[in-house]
Amino acid sequence: MSEKKNLKRVSPRLRTKLIEVSKKRASSSSIDQRLGIDEFRVISDWYHAAILELTYSKHFKPDPHWIARTLGISAVEAKLAIERLLKLELLEEKNGTLVKTNFFLDTVDKTKTSVFHKKRIKQVLEKSAYSLENDPIDERNHSGITLCIAPEKLSEAKERIQAFLWDLTRTLTSGEQERLYELHVSLFPTQKSDQKSRRNFV
């Protein structure tokens, strides 16, 4: 599938951001790849995405033991994760190292959050809580706002959050890349819904 066709799957605003952010990495990776749920299930543990992004670090070593020490996982987990990523062609062996093959990864079905997405998000939130307790404030940011919103603005909010994430990604990756981070912005209701039941979850 061509790069041009892939880019049509995102909104014009996000497409622009994606192209801008990807310029830096264009020499080593294509822009977009969409994963089916069966593919995502295999790599839904948080450290798979971490390994992919870690390949951009100037300190990166394509060694499962080094990756394991860096991410705080076992060498077996690192080795099996690399094998999965290679099999799915999300990683490739090139010039004696491992290279991420696609800049942007996403899943095909955006109508609901699968159990595998929920598992990954929960894992990342657990790491966020750990960072809150253990990392100095000059190395992290945990901030938020409590607000009463107009529900009809939610779709616009999601679009603007994604645009913001891409803009900040462009800034954070523009220098020499050394340390791996997770960047997440959450917007969720704290007030109970008037609806007694909801069959579809976004």
Q: pLDDT value at position 164?
A: 94
**Average pLDDT, integer, range 46-60:** 95
Q: What's the rounded Cα separation, in Å, for the pair 61 and 110?
A: 34
pLDDT in tens, 61-87: 999 999 999 999 999 999 999 999 999
Q: For residue 74, is it within any domain?
A: yes
Mean pLDDT of the chain: 83
More confident residue, 182 or 17: 182
Q: For residue 24, is it within any domain?
A: yes
Ordered DSSP codes for 127-177: HHHHHHHHS-GGG-----------GGGHHHHHHHHHHHHHHHHHHHTSS--
Q: How many domains does the chain have?
A: 1
pLDDT in tens, 123-155: 999 999 999 999 999 999 999 999 999 999 999
103-124 per-residue burial string, b: 16 or more CB within 10 A, e: under 16:
bbbeeeeeeeeeebbeebeeee
pLDDT in tens, 31-42: 466 777 888 889
Domain of residue 87 covers 3-126+150-172
pLDDT in tens, 101-131: 986 676 766 667 889 999 999 999 999 999 9
Q: For residue 27, is it within any domain?
A: yes
Asked if the model's pLDDT at residue 7 lies above 70, the reply is no
Q: For residue 132, is it within any domain?
A: no
Q: At what angle do helices 64-71 and 46-54 cross, to 10 degrees?
A: 110
Q: For residue 73, is it within any domain?
A: yes
Q: pLDDT value at position 195?
A: 60
Q: pLDDT value at position 18?
A: 53
Q: For residue 53, is it within any domain?
A: yes
Q: For residue 192, is it within any domain?
A: no
Q: pLDDT value at position 131?
A: 97
Q: For residue 118, is it within any domain?
A: yes
Please name which of 118, 110, 55 lies closest in space to residue 82, comparing C-alpha atoms: 55
pLDDT in tens, 174-193: 989 999 999 999 999 999 88
